[in-house]
């Protein structure tokens, strides 16, 4: 067998509630500067929860550089285009006419839906009494507007990105709720390994901070109702946690086959080394208390990376700050890392950024790559009283300075999909490739 | 390229043409169309009124568990039906239940699920119409009245990945998985990613399913305004074609390593040989005239399968009936096969375009065609468009020239997918 191809992370772009680029986001995450605040994008005062972690001061027109695109994009698409542009600039390479067919695109995309203004417009025109009158749709504004349709389509983000950047190879959008971003990166890893693409732009994007998006989570009592203290609302693994803080944004990574990246002298953040995914097959919203499901995803990711639990120094936990998730994840981590779970440093950066849903996995993998680059692990903010059921070795109060040989990122979604991604320090990868002791 | 053979041990399908691949294929082969006037809403005054709707749709026939009906929607019922038929047909759960606890747990962990999902419907959001009407434009009122008006399960009922989650829960499967929401290529991508998960050792067997239910007023209206819907009938490659017609349904395959199938003495229906997918980078709606993307997808699939164009015995074209897609599809086939293309057919004229389910449902039918050694005629084809000349498509049945079928699929975003399957 020929040795498995390795995959390098050579560029990253982030648009998050704590920064509209990688450097600003990383600084905020390291020190736990929360992105939580009262919702400003619509009047949420009547909702049970009226806080979120919004992307702030985002100049969409400047980021897109093309006014026509404003009509064709919804909020999440704009985040995606901006983060992807950052990632390609950072990598110092982009698809050309000659090699665009060897570039792939994988995205974790949010749920399909029309913009709230369009939905409200259709209600006024075609469902004045609350029920749809299909005959009225024929003269309904939004329901006859092809541009509104384009924004709503599940392939909208994918098509905007491939067209903008000239990506003409394998293209796929995945949606496994909160696991989407991680699964998109896992798909990209496998594309390069099997030779279906030489380079892949991979990431996730989402924005559910809208009346319908907030409603969906409010109805499930999934969000923290701590409206008076938005910056404290997300406190994964704390005994007092009471739900997640909804975030939004995008994260994109440029991935390249390792030798090709080295050959062109690319700066490599880390090796994207392993991908695991599993189904909990328990309940649609809940994780099993014993960690069954997430355990298999983590073990599969280690297998995929050719690693053992001892190799992992940092875990960026899914850590949503819901009672059930954090307990289940802790049980899974203990099962996988026993008996030395104590030596594993853990934090959930959702404590700072909130939960970016379909973008979360991709953004958090980028955070892991930065932890490897800087030898610095970000804190789990807002952790005062650790839940006794979640007694892991958390990075608290201050970032932890320690060389990170390998890092792991967990993402678990509604529907029971679990994604786990493993990253490796580039020196470790080079040493392995050269047969040197690591 | 990997040459490990991936076997197919069962299929499942549902659409207006029937409730299993055999019946649906028989209707196509016999020249029958199930495109009919839309029943789900009153289409009086509508510019387009036909689709491939499942007549007498019965939720309990699709999924027996009534409690589940409150948690999912029509598209999910279709996906769960087809997947269930395939899982039962392959005897997966029955075999697992004969195993000791440890072996059964490994079986579950090594069984994956790959889904191509239509990603949702406009109707999902109509559940907010009563609340919007009551709030009369006031968002604070909307927020305050939310819990009194909207089903608390709204978000869960609307998840694009419901079929994935509920297959897992019902059958206890816990392996490698994905839910792909790439418009019409979703089902084909589920087959490709599932096949690759078997090749790279992530799983021993995979349930792949694609499902969609696009026949709803707002969806039909948008496609019509975009010029994509036929005035009456879907006429692939015909000079008079003027658009596509929606269908609804699902297709499913159980794919396994040879060792996994042999361990249960499972009957082998056929093989998945390979697949390829590309983008044309033309934006959401536009496609290239020259068929470049589709030709590259076919080339990628042939490379992936380790076979040549001459090995292909029949082609199931996308044949969606739009002017641009059929003409560029013919161009792609000419590019790849020159003057030596094998018999070409298309199925959508019979039961409509199933969008996310199209590629995988048509793959199940291609296996039927190979087993019966017949390439069905395209009964709706009256006069081949000169733009589509040079491809051996016919209203009359033809004979496949080998055991290998190529299934083509095209979706929004300029995406093109190609699958290669073969008979047992």
Q: How distant is the Cα of B211 from the closest Cα of chain A, in angstroms? A: 14
Task: Tell me, yes or no, whether B400 and B321 share the same domain.
Answer: yes
User: Per-residue pLDDT tens for B258-301?
Assistant: 999 999 999 999 999 999 999 999 999 999 999 999 999 999 99
Read off the pLDDT of each residue in A18-34 and give the average, rounded to a whole number: 97
Q: Is A318 a residue of the active site? A: yes
E strand or H helix that includes residue B308: none
* ipTM summary value: 0.97
Task: Tell me, yes or no, whether B148 and B280 share the same domain.
Answer: no
- Which of B154, B173, B207 is the last residue in one of the domains? B154
Rounded to 10 degrees, what is the CA torsion of B230, B234, B236, B240?
Answer: -60
Q: From CA A168, how far away is CA A170, in angstroms rounded?
A: 7
CB pairs under 8 A between A and B: 295
User: Per-residue pLDDT tens for A105-147?
Assistant: 999 998 888 899 999 999 999 999 999 999 999 999 999 999 9
Q: Is B308 exposed, middle or buried (0-12, 13-18, 19+ CB in 10 A)?
A: exposed
In contact, B277 and A167? CB cutoff 8 Å = no
User: Is there a domain that residue B1 lies in?
Assistant: no
From B225, B417, B234, select the one nearest B322 (Cα to Cα): B234
User: Is there a domain that residue B42 lies in?
Assistant: yes
Q: From CA A242, how far away is CA A224, in angstroms rounded?
A: 5
Task: Tell me, yes or no, whether B148 and B268 share the same domain.
Answer: no
What chain A holds in terms of domains, given with CATH numbers, is 7-112+153-434 (3.40.47.10)
For residue A97, what is the nearest residue in chain B, using CA coordinates? B281
Pairing of strands A51-52, A103-109: unpaired
From chain A, the residues in CB contact with B181 under 8 A are 109, 112, 154-155, 173-175
From A340, A46, A362, A24, select the one nearest A187 (Cα to Cα): A362
E strand or H helix that includes residue A270: strand A270-279
A353 CA to centre of own chain? 11
Q: Is B3 exposed, middle or buried (0-12, 13-18, 19+ CB in 10 A)?
A: exposed
Task: Tell me, yes or no, whether B229 and B142 share the same domain.
Answer: no
User: Is there a domain that residue B142 lies in?
Assistant: yes
DSSP state of A42: S
What is this structure's pTM? 0.98
User: Per-residue pLDDT tens for A320-350?
Assistant: 999 999 999 999 999 999 999 999 999 999 9
Going by pLDDT thresholds of 50, 70 and 90, the confidence category of residue A2 is: low
Contact A281 B172 (CB under 8 A): yes
Interface contact A97, partner B, CB < 8 A? no
Find the range with the poorest average confidence among A8-12, A284-288, B394-398, B415-419: A284-288
DSSP state of B49: -
Tokens of A34: 């929360």
Task: Tell me, yes or no, whether B72 and B148 share the same domain.
Answer: no
Task: Tell me, yes or no, whether B114 and B129 share the same domain.
Answer: no
From chain B, the residues in CB contact with A169 under 8 A are 278-279
From B367, B352, B363, select the one nearest B407 (Cα to Cα): B363
- Domain enclosing residue B138, as ranges: 125-154
Task: Tell me, yes or no, whether B162 and B150 share the same domain.
Answer: no
What value does the mean pLDDT of chain B take? Answer: 97
User: Is there a domain that residue B41 lies in?
Assistant: yes
User: Is there a domain that residue B347 lies in?
Assistant: yes
User: Is there a domain that residue B266 lies in?
Assistant: yes
Q: How distant is the Cα of A162 from the closest Cα of chain B, in angstroms? A: 5
The CATH number given to whatever domain includes residue B19 is 3.40.47.10
Contact A143 B177 (CB under 8 A): no
Spell out a b/e string for A45-57, using b for 16 or more CB atoms within 10 Å of the CB, else e: ebbbbbbbbbbee
From chain A, the residues in CB contact with B162 under 8 A are 284, 415
Q: How distant is the Cα of B133 from the closest Cα of chain A, in angstroms? A: 5
Task: Tell me, yes or no, whether B26 and B111 share the same domain.
Answer: yes
The total number of structural domains in chain B stands at 2
Looking at residue A438, its pLDDT comes to 58
Contacts of A263 (CB under 8 A, 6+ apart): none
Q: Is A150 a residue of the active site? A: no
DSSP state of A177: G
Looking at residue B1, its pLDDT comes to 41
Task: Tell me, yes or no, whether B178 and B132 share the same domain.
Answer: no
Interface contact A315, partner B, CB < 8 A? no
Residue with tokens 């910056």: A231
Q: From CA A379, how far away is CA A382, in angstroms rounded?
A: 9
Task: Tell me, yes or no, whether B144 and B178 share the same domain.
Answer: no
Q: Which of A50, A175, A178, A218 is catalytic?
A: A178
Q: Is A125 a residue of the active site? A: no
User: Per-residue pLDDT tens for A69-101?
Assistant: 899 999 999 999 999 999 999 999 999 999 999
For residue B123, what is the nearest residue in chain A, using CA coordinates? A132
From chain B, the residues in CB contact with A127 under 8 A are 126, 129, 132-133
User: Is there a domain that residue B273 lies in?
Assistant: yes
Task: Tell me, yes or no, whether B371 and B401 share the same domain.
Answer: yes
Contact B139 A43 (CB under 8 A): yes
Looking at residue B2, its pLDDT comes to 45
Q: From CA A192, how far away is CA B392, in angstroms rounded?
A: 36
Spell out a b/e string for B340-364, using b for 16 or more CB atoms within 10 Å of the CB, else e: ebbbbbbbbbbbbbbbbbbbbbbbb
* Cross-chain CB nearest to B109 (options A111, A163, A296): A296
From chain B, the residues in CB contact with A155 under 8 A are 181-183, 284, 411-413, 415
Going by pLDDT thresholds of 50, 70 and 90, the confidence category of residue A65 is: confident
From A144, A148, A198, select the one nearest A170 (Cα to Cα): A198
Interface contact A128, partner B, CB < 8 A? yes
pLDDT at A1 over 50: no
Q: What percent of chain B has pLDDT over 70?
A: 99
| Per-residue pLDDT tens digits of chain B, which is 424 residues long | 445 689 999 999 999 999 999 999 999 999 999 999 999 999 999 999 999 999 999 999 999 999 999 999 999 999 999 999 999 999 999 999 999 999 999 999 999 999 999 999 999 999 999 999 999 999 999 999 999 999 999 999 999 999 999 999 999 999 999 999 999 999 999 999 999 999 999 999 999 999 999 999 999 999 999 999 999 899 999 999 999 999 999 999 999 999 999 999 999 999 999 999 999 999 999 999 999 999 999 999 999 999 999 999 999 999 999 999 999 999 999 999 999 999 999 999 999 999 999 999 999 999 999 999 999 999 999 999 999 999 999 999 999 999 999 999 999 999 999 999 999 9
Q: How far apart are the first and last CA of chain B?
A: 21
DSSP state of A125: H
Q: From CA A344, how far away is CA A342, in angstroms rounded?
A: 6
Residue with tokens 């015995």: B313
Residue with tokens 């030489």: A198
In contact, B184 and B201? CB cutoff 8 Å = no
Chain B interface mutation, best of A132, A168, A279, A280, highest count of B Cβ atoms under 10 Å: A279
Task: Tell me, yes or no, whether B147 and B26 share the same domain.
Answer: no
- Which of B100, B134, B154 is the last residue in one of the domains? B154
User: Is there a domain that residue B386 lies in?
Assistant: yes
Looking at residue A113, its pLDDT comes to 83
Q: How distant is the Cα of B28 from the closest Cα of chain A, in angstroms? A: 30
Q: Which residues 367-426 on chain A approach chain B with CB closer than 8 angstroms? A: 413-417
């Amino acid at each position: 067998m020929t040795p498995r191809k390795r995959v390098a992370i050579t560029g990253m772009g982030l648009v998050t509630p704590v920064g509209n680029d990688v450097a600003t986001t990383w600084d905020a995450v390291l020190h736990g500067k929360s992105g939580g605040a009262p919702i400003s994008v619509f009047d949420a005062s009547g909702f049970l929860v009226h806080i979120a972690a919004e992307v702030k001061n985002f100049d969409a027109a400047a980021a897109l550089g093309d006014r026509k695109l404003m009509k064709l994009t919804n909020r999440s698409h704009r985040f995606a285009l901006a983060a992807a542009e950052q990632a390609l600039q950072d990598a110092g390479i982009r698809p050309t006419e000659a090699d665009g067919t060897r570039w792939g695109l994988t995205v974790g995309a949010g749920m399909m839906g029309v913009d709230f203004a369009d939905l409200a417009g259709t209600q006024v025109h075609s469902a004045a009494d609350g029920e749809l009158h299909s005959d009225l749709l024929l003269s309904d504004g939004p329901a006859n507007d092809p541009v509104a349709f384009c924004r709503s389509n599940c392939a909208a983000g994918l098509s905007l990105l491939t067209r903008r950047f000239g990506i003409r190879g394998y293209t796929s959008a995945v949606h496994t709720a909160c696991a989407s971003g991680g699964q998109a990166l896992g798909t990209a890893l496998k594309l390069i390994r099997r030779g279906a693409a030489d380079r892949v732009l991979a990431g996730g994007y989402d924005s559910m901070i809208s009346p319908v998006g907030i409603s969906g989570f409010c109805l499930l009592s999934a969000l923290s109702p701590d409206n008076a203290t938005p910056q404290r609302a997300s406190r994964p693994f704390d005994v007092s946690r009471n739900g997640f803080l909804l975030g939004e944004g995008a994260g994109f990574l440029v991935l390249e086959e390792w030798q090709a990246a080295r050959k062109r002298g690319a700066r490599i953040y880390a090796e994207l080394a392993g991908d695991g995914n599993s189904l909990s097959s328990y309940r649609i919203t809940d994780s099993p208390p014993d960690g069954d499901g997430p355990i298999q995803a983590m073990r599969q990711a280690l297998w995929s990376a050719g690693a053992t639990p001892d190799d992992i120094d940092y875990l960026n936990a899914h850590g949503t700050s819901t009672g059930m998730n954090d307990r289940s994840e802790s049980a899974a981590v203990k099962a996988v890392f026993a008996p030395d779970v104590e030596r594993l440093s853990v934090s959930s950066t959702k404590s700072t950024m909130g939960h970016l849903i379909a973008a979360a996995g991709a953004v958090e993998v980028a955070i892991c790559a930065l932890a490897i680059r800087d030898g610095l692990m970000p804190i789990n903010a807002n952790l005062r009283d650790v839940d006794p059921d979640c007694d892991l070795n958390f990075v608290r109060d201050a970032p932890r300075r320690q060389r990170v040989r390998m890092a792991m990122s967990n993402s678990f979604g509604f529907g029971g999909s679990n994604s786990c991604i493993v990253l490796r320090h580039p020196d470790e990868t080079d040493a392995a490739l050269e047969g040197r002791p690591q | 390229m990997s040459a490990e053979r991936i076997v197919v041990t069962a299929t499942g399908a549902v659409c207006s043409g029937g409730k299993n691949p055999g019946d649906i294929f028989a209707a196509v082969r016999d020249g029958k169309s199930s495109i009919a006037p839309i029943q789900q809403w009153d289409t009086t005054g509508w510019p387009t009124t036909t689709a491939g709707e499942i007549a007498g749709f019965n939720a309990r026939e699709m999924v027996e568990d009534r409690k589940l009906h409150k948690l999912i929607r029509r598209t999910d019922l279709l996906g769960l039906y087809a997947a269930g038929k395939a899982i039962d047909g392959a005897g997966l759960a029955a075999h697992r239940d004969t195993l000791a606890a440890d072996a059964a747990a490994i079986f579950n962990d090594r069984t994956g699920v790959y889904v191509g999902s239509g990603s949702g419907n406009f109707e999902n959001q109509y559940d907010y119409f009563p609340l919007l009407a009551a709030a009369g434009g006031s968002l604070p009122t909307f927020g305050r009245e939310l819990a009194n008006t909207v089903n608390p399960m709204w978000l869960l009922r609307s998840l694009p990945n419901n079929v994935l989650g509920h297959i897992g829960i019902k059958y206890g499967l816990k392996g490698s998985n994905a839910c792909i929401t790439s418009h019409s290529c979703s089902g084909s991508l589920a087959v490709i990613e599932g096949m690759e998960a078997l090749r790279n050792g992530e799983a021993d067997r995979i349930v792949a399913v694609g499902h969609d239910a696009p026949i709803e007023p707002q969806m039909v209206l948008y496609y019509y305004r975009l010029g994509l819907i036929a005035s009456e009938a879907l006429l692939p490659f015909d000079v008079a074609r003027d658009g596509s017609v929606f269908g609804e349904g699902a297709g499913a395959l159980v794919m396994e390593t040879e060792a996994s199938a042999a361990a249960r003495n499972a009957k082998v229906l056929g093989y998945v040989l390979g697949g390829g997918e590309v983008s044309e980078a033309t934006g959401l709606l536009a496609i290239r005239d020259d068929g470049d993307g589709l030709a590259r997808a076919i080339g990628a699939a042939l490379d992936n399968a380790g076979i040549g164009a001459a090995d292909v015995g029949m082609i199931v074209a996308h044949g969606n009936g739009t002017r641009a897609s059929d003409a560029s599809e013919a161009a792609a086939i000419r590019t790849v096969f020159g003057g030596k293309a094998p018999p070409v057919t298309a199925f959508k004229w019979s039961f409509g375009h199933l969008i996310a389910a199209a590629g995988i449902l048509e793959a199940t039918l291609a296996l039927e065609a190979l087993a019966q050694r017949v390439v069905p005629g395209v009964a709706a084809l009256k006069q081949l468009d000169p733009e589509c000349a040079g491809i051996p498509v016919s209203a009359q049945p033809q004979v496949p020239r080998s055991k290998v079928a190529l299934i083509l699929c095209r979706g929004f975003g300029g995406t093109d997918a190609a699958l290669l399957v073969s008979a047992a």
